[in-house]
Copies of this chain bind each other. A is one copy, B any other.
Amino acid sequence: MLRTAPESMAGTTLAERIEARIEADIVEGRVLPGDRLDEEDLAERLSASRTPVREALRKLASSGLVTIRPRAGASVARPTMTDLVELFEVVAELEAFAARLSCARASDAQLAEIARMHALCEHEAANGTAESYFEVNRRFHGAIWDGSNNSALVEQLRLADRRLSPYRRHITFHPGRCKDSQSEHRKIATALATRSAEAAATEMRDHVMILSEDAVQLARNLRL
Protein backbone atom coordinates (compact mmCIF):
# COMPACT_ATOMS: atom_id res chain seq x y z
CA MET A 1 0.00 0.00 0.00
CA LEU A 2 2.90 2.30 0.71
CA ARG A 3 4.99 0.73 -1.99
CA THR A 4 3.67 3.00 -4.65
CA ALA A 5 4.46 6.47 -3.43
CA PRO A 6 2.01 9.25 -4.12
CA GLU A 7 3.63 11.64 -6.57
CA SER A 8 3.66 14.30 -3.86
CA MET A 9 6.15 12.11 -2.07
CA ALA A 10 8.42 11.75 -5.08
CA GLY A 11 12.09 11.56 -4.25
CA THR A 12 11.38 10.30 -0.77
CA THR A 13 12.37 6.93 0.50
CA LEU A 14 10.14 4.13 1.74
CA ALA A 15 11.41 4.56 5.27
CA GLU A 16 10.40 8.22 5.27
CA ARG A 17 6.91 7.43 4.11
CA ILE A 18 6.58 4.78 6.79
CA GLU A 19 7.82 7.25 9.37
CA ALA A 20 5.23 9.82 8.29
CA ARG A 21 2.54 7.19 8.46
CA ILE A 22 3.42 6.02 11.97
CA GLU A 23 3.83 9.58 13.15
CA ALA A 24 0.37 10.48 11.90
CA ASP A 25 -1.06 7.43 13.64
CA ILE A 26 0.46 8.60 16.91
CA VAL A 27 -0.27 12.32 16.65
CA GLU A 28 -3.82 11.79 15.50
CA GLY A 29 -4.51 9.26 18.20
CA ARG A 30 -5.03 6.07 16.19
CA VAL A 31 -2.45 4.40 18.42
CA LEU A 32 -2.25 5.42 22.05
CA PRO A 33 0.65 6.17 24.37
CA GLY A 34 2.01 2.91 25.70
CA ASP A 35 0.90 0.81 22.73
CA ARG A 36 3.47 -1.63 21.52
CA LEU A 37 4.92 -1.15 18.02
CA ASP A 38 5.93 -4.53 16.73
CA GLU A 39 8.40 -4.34 13.87
CA GLU A 40 7.27 -7.45 12.03
CA ASP A 41 3.62 -6.58 12.52
CA LEU A 42 4.10 -3.08 11.13
CA ALA A 43 6.21 -4.40 8.27
CA GLU A 44 3.49 -6.80 7.23
CA ARG A 45 0.73 -4.25 7.65
CA LEU A 46 2.62 -1.79 5.43
CA SER A 47 3.81 -4.53 3.09
CA ALA A 48 7.48 -3.71 3.54
CA SER A 49 10.39 -5.40 5.22
CA ARG A 50 11.56 -4.79 8.76
CA THR A 51 14.51 -2.65 7.68
CA PRO A 52 12.70 0.56 6.73
CA VAL A 53 10.27 0.07 9.60
CA ARG A 54 13.18 -0.09 12.02
CA GLU A 55 14.66 3.08 10.58
CA ALA A 56 11.35 4.89 10.95
CA LEU A 57 10.97 3.76 14.56
CA ARG A 58 14.50 4.84 15.45
CA LYS A 59 13.95 8.25 13.98
CA LEU A 60 10.66 8.69 15.80
CA ALA A 61 12.40 7.56 18.96
CA SER A 62 15.08 10.19 18.74
CA SER A 63 12.41 12.85 18.35
CA GLY A 64 10.69 11.55 21.44
CA LEU A 65 7.46 10.21 19.98
CA VAL A 66 8.48 6.59 20.46
CA THR A 67 10.33 4.80 23.24
CA ILE A 68 12.81 2.05 22.43
CA ARG A 69 14.38 -0.17 25.03
CA PRO A 70 17.24 -2.23 23.62
CA ARG A 71 16.14 -5.76 22.90
CA ALA A 72 12.69 -5.05 24.26
CA GLY A 73 11.12 -3.29 21.32
CA ALA A 74 9.37 -0.03 20.60
CA SER A 75 6.19 1.50 21.95
CA VAL A 76 4.42 4.82 21.69
CA ALA A 77 6.05 7.14 24.20
CA ARG A 78 4.12 7.53 27.41
CA PRO A 79 5.47 10.60 29.15
CA THR A 80 4.85 10.87 32.84
CA MET A 81 2.88 13.77 34.25
CA THR A 82 6.18 15.40 35.16
CA ASP A 83 7.51 14.97 31.64
CA LEU A 84 4.44 16.69 30.22
CA VAL A 85 4.66 19.64 32.57
CA GLU A 86 8.35 20.09 31.82
CA LEU A 87 7.76 19.90 28.09
CA PHE A 88 4.97 22.46 28.32
CA GLU A 89 7.30 24.78 30.20
CA VAL A 90 9.90 24.56 27.48
CA VAL A 91 7.33 25.06 24.75
CA ALA A 92 5.87 28.04 26.60
CA GLU A 93 9.28 29.64 26.73
CA LEU A 94 10.01 28.96 23.07
CA GLU A 95 6.59 30.22 21.98
CA ALA A 96 7.12 33.35 24.06
CA PHE A 97 10.47 33.82 22.36
CA ALA A 98 8.84 33.39 18.95
CA ALA A 99 6.28 36.03 19.85
CA ARG A 100 8.99 38.42 21.01
CA LEU A 101 11.01 37.88 17.83
CA SER A 102 7.91 38.32 15.70
CA CYS A 103 7.36 41.74 17.21
CA ALA A 104 10.93 42.71 16.43
CA ARG A 105 11.44 41.11 13.04
CA ALA A 106 8.27 39.99 11.33
CA SER A 107 7.62 41.70 8.02
CA ASP A 108 4.40 43.60 7.64
CA ALA A 109 3.17 40.80 5.41
CA GLN A 110 3.92 38.29 8.13
CA LEU A 111 2.12 40.38 10.73
CA ALA A 112 -0.83 40.59 8.37
CA GLU A 113 -0.81 36.80 8.03
CA ILE A 114 -0.86 36.47 11.80
CA ALA A 115 -3.80 38.86 11.98
CA ARG A 116 -5.56 36.87 9.28
CA MET A 117 -5.11 33.64 11.23
CA HIS A 118 -6.38 35.36 14.35
CA ALA A 119 -9.50 36.41 12.48
CA LEU A 120 -9.96 32.82 11.36
CA CYS A 121 -9.73 31.70 14.96
CA GLU A 122 -12.36 34.22 15.98
CA HIS A 123 -14.64 32.93 13.28
CA GLU A 124 -14.19 29.27 14.16
CA ALA A 125 -14.50 29.94 17.87
CA ALA A 126 -17.93 31.41 17.19
CA ASN A 127 -19.20 29.18 14.40
CA GLY A 128 -16.95 26.14 14.04
CA THR A 129 -16.45 22.82 15.76
CA ALA A 130 -13.81 22.07 18.37
CA GLU A 131 -11.89 20.17 15.71
CA SER A 132 -11.87 23.02 13.24
CA TYR A 133 -10.79 25.37 16.03
CA PHE A 134 -7.92 23.04 16.85
CA GLU A 135 -6.77 23.36 13.27
CA VAL A 136 -6.92 27.16 12.95
CA ASN A 137 -5.37 27.46 16.41
CA ARG A 138 -2.38 25.55 15.09
CA ARG A 139 -2.17 27.83 12.11
CA PHE A 140 -2.31 30.94 14.29
CA HIS A 141 0.59 29.70 16.36
CA GLY A 142 2.40 28.60 13.22
CA ALA A 143 2.11 32.06 11.72
CA ILE A 144 3.79 33.50 14.81
CA TRP A 145 6.56 30.90 14.57
CA ASP A 146 7.16 31.93 10.98
CA GLY A 147 7.17 35.59 11.95
CA SER A 148 10.20 34.98 14.15
CA ASN A 149 12.23 34.38 10.99
CA ASN A 150 14.34 31.90 12.93
CA SER A 151 14.10 28.48 11.33
CA ALA A 152 16.05 26.75 14.10
CA LEU A 153 13.45 27.98 16.56
CA VAL A 154 10.64 26.83 14.30
CA GLU A 155 12.26 23.43 14.04
CA GLN A 156 12.56 23.08 17.82
CA LEU A 157 8.97 24.15 18.28
CA ARG A 158 7.72 21.74 15.67
CA LEU A 159 9.49 18.85 17.35
CA ALA A 160 8.40 19.69 20.87
CA ASP A 161 4.86 20.52 19.83
CA ARG A 162 4.54 17.21 18.05
CA ARG A 163 5.22 15.38 21.28
CA LEU A 164 2.45 17.30 22.99
CA SER A 165 -0.18 17.04 20.26
CA PRO A 166 -1.70 13.75 21.44
CA TYR A 167 -2.53 15.54 24.70
CA ARG A 168 -3.02 19.08 23.43
CA ARG A 169 -5.65 17.76 21.05
CA HIS A 170 -7.81 16.55 23.89
CA ILE A 171 -7.47 19.85 25.68
CA THR A 172 -8.48 22.04 22.78
CA PHE A 173 -11.47 19.79 22.21
CA HIS A 174 -12.55 20.47 25.76
CA PRO A 175 -15.87 22.37 25.36
CA GLY A 176 -15.33 25.60 27.31
CA ARG A 177 -11.67 25.86 26.37
CA CYS A 178 -12.13 27.44 22.92
CA LYS A 179 -13.70 30.58 24.33
CA ASP A 180 -11.04 31.06 27.02
CA SER A 181 -8.29 30.36 24.53
CA GLN A 182 -9.76 32.92 22.20
CA SER A 183 -9.72 35.69 24.79
CA GLU A 184 -6.04 34.94 25.40
CA HIS A 185 -5.41 34.93 21.66
CA ARG A 186 -6.94 38.38 21.44
CA LYS A 187 -4.39 39.82 23.86
CA ILE A 188 -1.55 38.14 21.99
CA ALA A 189 -2.79 39.37 18.63
CA THR A 190 -3.09 42.92 19.91
CA ALA A 191 0.43 42.91 21.32
CA LEU A 192 1.79 41.56 18.04
CA ALA A 193 -0.13 44.08 15.94
CA THR A 194 1.44 46.90 17.94
CA ARG A 195 4.84 45.19 18.05
CA SER A 196 4.87 45.22 21.86
CA ALA A 197 7.51 42.57 22.33
CA GLU A 198 7.43 42.05 26.08
CA ALA A 199 3.66 42.04 26.26
CA ALA A 200 3.44 39.53 23.43
CA ALA A 201 5.99 37.27 25.09
CA THR A 202 4.28 37.40 28.47
CA GLU A 203 0.80 36.82 27.12
CA MET A 204 2.01 33.94 24.99
CA ARG A 205 3.81 32.29 27.88
CA ASP A 206 0.72 32.57 30.08
CA HIS A 207 -1.45 31.22 27.28
CA VAL A 208 0.63 28.09 26.88
CA MET A 209 1.00 27.57 30.61
CA ILE A 210 -2.79 27.69 31.03
CA LEU A 211 -2.95 24.96 28.42
CA SER A 212 -0.46 23.06 30.52
CA GLU A 213 -2.65 23.36 33.61
CA ASP A 214 -5.57 21.97 31.66
CA ALA A 215 -3.46 19.16 30.30
CA VAL A 216 -2.42 18.07 33.77
CA GLN A 217 -5.99 18.28 34.99
CA LEU A 218 -7.28 16.28 32.08
CA ALA A 219 -4.53 13.70 32.23
CA ARG A 220 -5.24 13.22 35.91
CA ASN A 221 -8.94 12.71 35.28
CA LEU A 222 -8.31 10.27 32.49
CA ARG A 223 -5.76 8.47 34.63
CA LEU A 224 -3.37 8.77 31.72
Taking beta carbons and an 8 Å cutoff, which residues of A are in contact with B? Answer: 11-13, 16, 54-55, 58-59, 62-63, 70-71, 83, 86-87, 89-90, 93-94, 97, 150-153, 156, 160
Contacts and interface: CB of A to CB of B under 8 A. Distances in A.
A87 B152 contact: yes
Contacts of A152: 83, 86-87, 89-90
Contact of A90 (B55, B58, B150): B150
A54 B56 CA distance: 12
A162 to B, nearest CB: 12
CB-based closest 10 A-B pairs = A86-B152, A86-B150, A62-B62, A87-B152, A93-B97, A13-B70, A59-B62, A90-B152, A90-B153, A55-B58
Contacts of A97: 90, 93
A83 B153 CA distance: 10
A153 B59 CA distance: 20
A89 B150 contact: yes
Nearest to A92: B97
B89 A153 contact: yes
A153 to B, nearest CB: 5
Nearest to A83: B152
B90 A93 contact: no
Contacts of A13: 70-71
Nearest to A79: B152
B86 A153 contact: yes
A153 B93 CA distance: 10
Nearest to A56: B58
Contacts of A83: 151-152
Nearest to A13: B70
A196 to B, nearest CB: 18
Nearest to A87: B152
